[in-house]
Structure 1
Amino acid sequence: MALYHNPPMAYAQEPTTAPIEHRFNPYSDNGGSILAIAGSDFSVIAGDTRQSEGYNIQTRYARKVWQLTDKAVLATNGFAADGNNFVKRVKQRLEWYEHAHHKPMGLKSIARMIQTMLYGKRFFPYYVYNILGGIEEDGTGAVYSFDPVGSYEREACRAAGAAQSLIQPFLDNQIYFKNQQPEPGAAPFIPGNLPLGTVLSLVVDSFTSATERHIEVGDGMEIYVVMKRGRTTDDLLGDNKLAPGMTIEELPSLGESVGGVESEGEGQGGERTFLVRQALKRD
């Protein structure tokens, strides 16, 4: 019995802690929301300016919407560092294209290029949800939405980000007219036929209501309005007046002379882009 009274340590002790698994997670969700709405001859792309991580506000002004060309505006949301890096690479490719072909890339081609860039990084993707809005070559407004690995489609409206679950049902009802019954004899609902003033009001209402309900949305809002060549600006605000804290400015054309050939859209008669800024709740 004495031989087995004190068993060897290897058999007597059992591990008291579980194995430690090491993981590498470089991503973070920096909150905020973006949306875009396509009209018959215009597009509206908007995003708030708050950048946060959880309940901690990192900055109250971080851009989420970027003008790429006179016809295209890109909104990004998700991991802010990935979004800024991705926009930088998209602008670089657009510059290469313009120097090689002496004209800016069209909106449909930009959407395809973004899809290729996102899919090429699918094994270590950009943690960014992108919405591209602008004017097609035929003069119609268009919106393209993307997931982080490149799947995309053209839509009449799309929201993304922290408050997507609040904003998208509202857009579905007001833009796609879901759950609405037309009056007898009324004209059928056609998405994209709303006037510009009404669309701007919907955008402001979307972000104002989301700010009241979501801690990761707020501080300010930037709205880019891209108009078809030759379109008037009389209905930019519709029947609305400038609200307190709202400003409107026309952005200069991004067209430039490349290789001695003027880029399409330069000067008078090209597409016009306006930037509308609106203050939001800062709590």
Structure 2
Amino acid sequence: MAKFKDALDDSSAALAAMSPMIEQQRQWNPYSSQGGTAAALAGDDFVVVASDTRLTGPNEIEILSRNCEKTHILTNKIIMNNCGFYGDVLQLKRLLMLRIDHYEFVYQHAMSLEQCSEMLARMLYSRRSFPYYTGAILCGIDSDGRGSIYGYDPVGCVERVPFNASGNGGKIVQTFFENQWTFSTVSPEERKKMPKPTLERALSVMRDAFRGLSERETTTGDSVKLYWTKAGDDQATFFCAPANLPLAWRLTPRCRCDCCFCWHFDEVLK
């Protein structure tokens, strides 16, 4: 046993001496999560979509942009939310817009939300060997005039849900929606007393979700873009948040264009 122990010590010492001579292999990862959060709520005839505008680096410390668009309006009935690697987000949006335009040119009518959801699932699945690193949320009004949300994973698995959230703060927002929107975490007796899912309540729940999330998730912040569309509208409607909301958060226009209004997280009423 003593000889065996001596031989084992000699071999361990030899390996320790050789380790500095071994060149370490350098690795490169093509995927990088660049933070942020996107969320959506659906009702009987409406859908509410929101996302923040912060874009962070791979280590979630440096801020690359404070005005990054993660919500993309595809048609007057379809809106897409996306978080993940922003290069893949832009590429997926570009390809989806090209296919929607091609469909409208060939068939001379707009693509429905159901058709677009199926097409997006096939596009993501076709890249399953090298997928787009995105958490896509496709929202809008379906053919029956109902608000619909389709959630996707990077390889194209799709599910129709009453609400969804993706990004670094997705789990926090999902839990909040379960308690405040579908009331799945409360007792059946208390659920009967809860308010109905109206558009006004959806806007209020979405505001509260991002207020709380901005205090707990470092990659979500700067401002939030909030959109809503309702059945019967000819064009997508952009909701402009009023300036007198509670919790002492000042909501002011981020940009001076006519397309959207944003919420500033960094300005607090004194």
Q: Which residue of 2 aligns with 1:206?
A: 209
Shift of 1:205: 0.8
SS at match of 2:139: strand
Identity %: 30
Q: Which residue of 2 aligns with 1:178?
A: 184
* Distance of 1:241 and 1:49 partners within structure 2: 19
* Distance of 1:280 and 1:74 partners within structure 2: 23
Task: Report 1:100-115 matches (<5 A).
Answer: 100-115=106-121
What is the total number of aligned residue pairs between the two structures? 242
For normalisation by structure 2, the TM-score amounts to: 0.80
Shift of 1:245: 2.3
Amino acid across the alignment from 2:216: R
Cα distance change of structure 1 residues 133 and 159 upon mapping to structure 2, 3 Å threshold: same
Amino acid across the alignment from 1:43: V
* Distance of 1:93 and 1:37 partners within structure 2: 26
Q: Which residue of 1 aligns with 2:41?
A: 37
Task: Report 1:1-283 matches (<5 A).
Answer: 15-16=18-19, 17-18=21-22, 20-53=24-57, 54-183=60-189, 187=192, 193-229=196-232, 242-243=244-245, 244-246=250-252, 275-281=260-266
Cα distance change of structure 1 residues 151 and 188 upon mapping to structure 2, 3 Å threshold: farther
* Distance of 2:91 and 2:173 partners within structure 1: 26
* Distance of 1:78 and 1:221 partners within structure 2: 17
Contact 2:252 2:262 in 1 (8 A): yes
Contact 1:79 1:127 in 2 (8 A): yes
Shift of 1:72: 0.4
* Distance of 2:88 and 2:51 partners within structure 1: 17
Q: Deviations over 1:23-72 (max 9, x none)?
A: 33112111000001101100011100000111111110000000000100
Cα distance change of structure 1 residues 144 and 189 upon mapping to structure 2, 3 Å threshold: farther
Shift of 1:179: 2.1
* Distance of 2:18 and 2:189 partners within structure 1: 73
Q: Which residue of 2 aligns with 1:5?
A: none
Contact 2:240 2:260 in 1 (8 A): no
Contact 1:167 1:210 in 2 (8 A): yes
* Distance of 2:208 and 2:266 partners within structure 1: 13
Shift of 1:22: 4.4
* Distance of 2:240 and 2:133 partners within structure 1: 35
Q: Flag the structure with higher strand content.
A: 1
5+ long unaligned stretches in structure 1: 1-11, 253-273
Q: Flag the structure with higher helix content.
A: 2
SS at match of 2:100: helix
Q: Which residue of 1 aligns with 2:6?
A: none
Contact 2:53 2:225 in 1 (8 A): yes
* Distance of 2:33 and 2:213 partners within structure 1: 18
Contact 1:32 1:50 in 2 (8 A): yes
